[in-house]
């Protein structure tokens, strides 16, 4: 067995991994399902541990899955495992509560974005270190976007030039992320949304196609194909 690498960095990463993966179809919780023979969570944590900035990883585990997650990740990287919550937001809050005090930069990274390259993790951490209090990786939207009414009739075509698809890891000054979760009134699908509700600016860095969120069965097939293209940790994020 290869030695577990010692963490080095000044960044804590929270990994919400407690979702059930309902859109993936029947089976185990999504983070525990296999991609090329290994659970999605193993792929995700291996790439986090390969990013030199990362010092601490806290995983929010699926219901009843804490001991399986601990066992599965023991050969991959040192991690803290906490029970996840009923929503993604609750899982992130539970993981945030377990971050050791000295770490001032916190990234939040979906286990479902299992092939996210270490270089993207570094780029988000570097942008927070450089002074941005909240940072998200984004990609341009490639499809034409229509707005529809309740009966699925087209109301209009949205100008996509000002739209971005948002990925994780999202990076934050720790005190800001804690304040945003403390003040949360709405259930949102990302953490930057909570920061926006506080009126704090959010900066963008170029995302990566490798950071796709595995949501539907077809995404697993895409991810398998990416791994066949480049079995290592993946490429550098491409320029915007």
Choosing from 5, 22, 102, 230, the residue that interacts with ligand CTP (CB under 6 A) is 22
Site residues for ligand CTP, 36-95, by CB under 6 A, read 60, 84-88, 91
25 binds ligand CTP (CB under 6 A): no
Residue nearer to Mg ion on the CB measure, 19 or 39: 19
Under 8 Å between Cβ of 194 and 180: yes
DSSP assignments along 133-156, one per residue: SEEEEEEE--S-EEEE-TTS-EEE
Phi and psi torsions of 108, nearest 5°: -115, 125
DSSP helix, strand, coil percent of the chain (3-state; round to 5): 35, 20, 45
Site residues for ligand CTP, 190-229, by CB under 6 A, read 213, 215
Residue nearer to Mg ion on the CB measure, 70 or 213: 213
For 114, counting Cβ atoms within 10 Å of its Cβ (0-12 exposed, 13-18 middle, 19+ buried), the class is buried
Q: Which stretch binds ligand CTP (CB under 6 A): 13-21, 75-83, 127-135, 198-206?
A: 13-21
Residue nearer to ligand CTP on the CB measure, 43 or 173: 43
Phi and psi torsions of 110, nearest 5°: -65, 130
Interface with Mg ion (CB under 5 A): 19
Interface with ligand CTP (CB under 6 A): 16-23, 30-31, 60, 84-88, 91, 110-112, 213, 215
């Amino acid at each position: 067995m290869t030695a577990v690498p010692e963490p080095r960095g000044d960044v804590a990463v929270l990994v919400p991994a407690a979702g059930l993966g309902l859109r993936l179809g029947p089976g185990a919780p999504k983070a525990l399902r296999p991609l090329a023979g290994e659970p999605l969570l193993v792929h995700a944590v291996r790439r986090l541990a390969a990013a030199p900035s990362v010092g601490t990883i806290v995983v929010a585990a699926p219901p009843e899955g804490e001991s399986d997650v601990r066992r599965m990740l023991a050969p991959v990287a040192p991690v803290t495992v906490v029970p996840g919550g009923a929503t993604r937001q609750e899982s992130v809050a539970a993981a945030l509560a377990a971050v050791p005090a000295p770490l001032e930069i916190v990234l939040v990274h979906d286990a479902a974005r299992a092939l996210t390259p270490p270089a993207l993790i570094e780029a988000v951490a570097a942008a927070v270190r450089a002074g941005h209090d909240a940072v998200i990786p984004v990609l341009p939207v490639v499809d034409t976007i229509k707005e529809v009414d309740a009966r699925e009739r087209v109301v209009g075509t949205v100008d996509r030039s000002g739209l971005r698809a948002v990925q994780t890891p999202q990076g934050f000054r720790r005190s800001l992320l804690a304040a945003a979760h403390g003040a949360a009134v709405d259930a949102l699908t990302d953490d930057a949304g909570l920061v926006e509700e506080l009126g704090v600016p959010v900066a963008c860095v170029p995302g990566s196609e490798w950071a796709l969120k595995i949501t539907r069965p077809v995404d697993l097939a895409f991810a398998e194909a990416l791994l066949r293209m480049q079995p290592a940790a993946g490429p550098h994020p491409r320029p915007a």
